[in-house]
Structure 1
Amino acid sequence: APSPPSDVYALGVLLFETLTGRRPAGLELPSELAPHLGRAFDAPLKAALALEPRRRPSVSALRRELLRALPPPAPSHPEADMVFVPGGFLVVGDRDDPDARPMHERRLRPFWIDLTPVTNEDYARFVQSTGARRPASWPERGGLPRRLARLPVTGITWHEARAYAAWTGRRLPTEFEWERAAQGPEQRAYPYGETFDPERIHCDPRRLAPVGSYPQGASSEGILDLTGNGWEWTASPFVPYGSDRKAPDSARTVRGGFDPSRPRSASATCRMGLRPDARDPGVTFRCALDAHDLPPARPVR
């Protein structure tokens, strides 16, 4: 039997709210509220939410259109190299940085983290497969210029970074995972040592360098570009340590950038907050993956 138009409309409302976090109102399209979705879901949901019942598709027809809108599955193994980081206890923070106080200890599960930030070349595959918005640094049309391919992708919102990570079967690292990756097991002040060294990182905030250009700045575990070649989104809200209040504007923590007027900004502990819908040309990201093995516990001192 044909699906009642009211059922199709109710299903459309449910899907719209699931995808965007908001109930449909007026003529808004899903892609306008959640740009990371691309435009693939706009037509099916617009039809399901048509004001005239006779214009709504059947449930089976809607299902077919939604299946067509879904992106193809990502590769089962991440294409980017990842580095395994053992779990354990980490002393987080910096007593001399108001945004990184108080210093405290955290226990982390083992995880994998990308060797480098996500490149434009990596992100282009996501855009092509899903219809996601192109970063502003790319040409409006046509293919990705070769000169941009190996640069970190920037101008990506936190939501878009999360969507890319999910598409690859990964996630954004928490800020504490990021800090552990940057400190290494030695808990260094900088990934490469205890003192700031401008020869080991990319220090020009006006332009980016291809990923992996500074192997001398790697962590002791071999993770590259952790500081100096763009700030990096993390999964964590930007709130004072130990606080349970909500982040202003739902701000998210970024790590790993460089401010020439403040060399300490390149340290493993420096943190800043950014609105999740910001498209900053100096912000990139890398992905992480759970390793599922919890290290033996030890008392917290």
Structure 2
Amino acid sequence: MKIHASKLCALCAVVFAIAGGSILSAPGRQTQKTPPPPEIPGMVYVPDGDFIMGSSESFPYEGPQRRVFLDGYYIDANEVTNAQYKRFTDSTEHRAPAHWKNDEFDSTAADMPVVNVSYHDAQLYAKWAGKRLPTEAQWEKAARGSDSRKYPWGGFWQDRSSNVSYLFGLGGLKPIGILTDGKSPYGCYDMSGNAKEMTDSFFEPYPGCTVKNDKFGREYIVVRGGSYKTSKALATTYSRDIVKPDEIRPDIGFRCAK
């Protein structure tokens, strides 16, 4: 049997393509895609990848700016609320926040961030919920995205996007998630203002930081995001504040990760 030279060349090309796996659009055949991560109610997924952390133009302990890689993780879209924390205290008989009266919060505060809880309280809640507190880096990436934003919504300040104080120390908490213009790239709310948020990281100097700070070490936990009591200068994605693990404050809450 004779095979025409052109047909033989065509046949060889097909065999080579199949062997090399380069035929991607054959009838009935589709390319394999990585399935999306499963959805977890109330949480958003932050995919693996790197981001710019810190700032070299702010307070010395917030720099130097550097690139950090993180594996993918989930983080709460919102701060933990009084209503959510009440389910925890009812279930475990853990002590209620200091400002609740007779272990009950005001009915108007159900959807406001729970505050006046310590780092240890937040850890216990997270464990009860099958979660944990985010690291400082995880918190910042969830707020900042991969494009190095100064604020969760972008590079410039917007009054309608954050619950901060315009007369220092005045103001109050707002229900979670109502400032939709302040949403982060991954879908997190209130990562600028409302309640500061505890992380699971000690206040340590960043790699390459040469400034001295007597607060550096394992005595303080990093809190992030600013609050209704702080100015907008302290409500950036890279702003760092601190609290002792057993300290409670009326402007500090938390969100969880896993």
**Contact conserved, 1:85 with 1:110, CA < 8 A, in 2?**
yes
Query: Does 1:122 find its partner at 2:84?
Result: yes
1:104-140 CA distance string (max 9 Å, x none): 2211010000010000000000000111111122112
Task: Work out whether 1:252 is the aligned partner of 2:221.
Answer: yes
Q: Read off the aligned partner of 1:112 and give its amino acid letter.
A: Y
Who is 2:199 aligned against? Answer: 234
> Bigger relative contact order, structure 1 or 2, given CA contacts below 8 A and separation 6+?
2
Note the C-alpha offset of 1:79.
8.4
For the pair 1:288 / 2:249, whether they are aligned, the reply is no
Instruction: Return the alpha-carbon distance in structure 2 between the equivalents of residues 253 and 206 of structure 1.
Output: 23
Displacement, 1:179? 0.4
Instruction: Tell me: CA distance 1:276–1:285, structure 2 relative to 1, closer, same or farther (3 Å).
Output: same
Structure 2: runs of 5+ lacking an equivalent: 1-37
- 1:99-248 paired onto structure 2 within 5 Å: 99-141=61-103, 143-204=104-165, 205-242=170-207, 247-248=216-217
Query: Are residues 283 and 194 of structure 1, via their aligned partners in 2, closer, same or farther at CA, if it must alter by over 3 Å?
Result: same
Aligned to 1:268: 237
Q: Following TM superposition, by how much is the alpha carbon of 1:227 offset from its aligned partner in structure 2, in angstroms?
A: 0.9
Q: Against the structure 1 CA distance between its residues 78 and 276, is the aligned structure 2 distance closer, same or farther, given a 3 Å change threshold?
A: farther
- 8 Å contact kept, 1:249–1:275: no
Mark the runs of 5 or more structure 1 residues left unpaired by the alignment: 1-76, 290-301
Mapped contact 2:203–2:220 kept (Cα < 8 A): yes
Q: Given the alignment, which residue of 271, 278, 287 partners 2:247?
A: 278
Structure 2 Cα separation of the partners of residues 163 and 109 of structure 1: 24
The alignment of Structure 1 onto Structure 2 pairs a total of residues equal to 212
Q: 8 Å contact 2:200–2:222 — kept in the other structure?
A: yes
Q: Would you tell me which structure has more helix in proportion to its own residues?
A: 1
Please tell me the residue identity of whatever aligns with 2:127: A
Could you tell me whether the CA contact under 8 Å between 1:159 and 1:277 is conserved in 2? yes
Local SS of the residue matching 2:61: helix
Q: CA contact under 8 A between 2:203 and 2:218: conserved in structure 1? A: no
What CA distance in whole angstroms lies between the structure 1 residues aligned with 2:216 and 2:122? 19
Q: What's the TM-score, normalizing by structure 1?
A: 0.66
1:80·1:115 contact (CA, 8 Å) conserved in 2?
no
> % of aligned pairs identical?
35
Indicate the RMSD between aligned Cα atoms, in angstroms.
Answer: 2.4
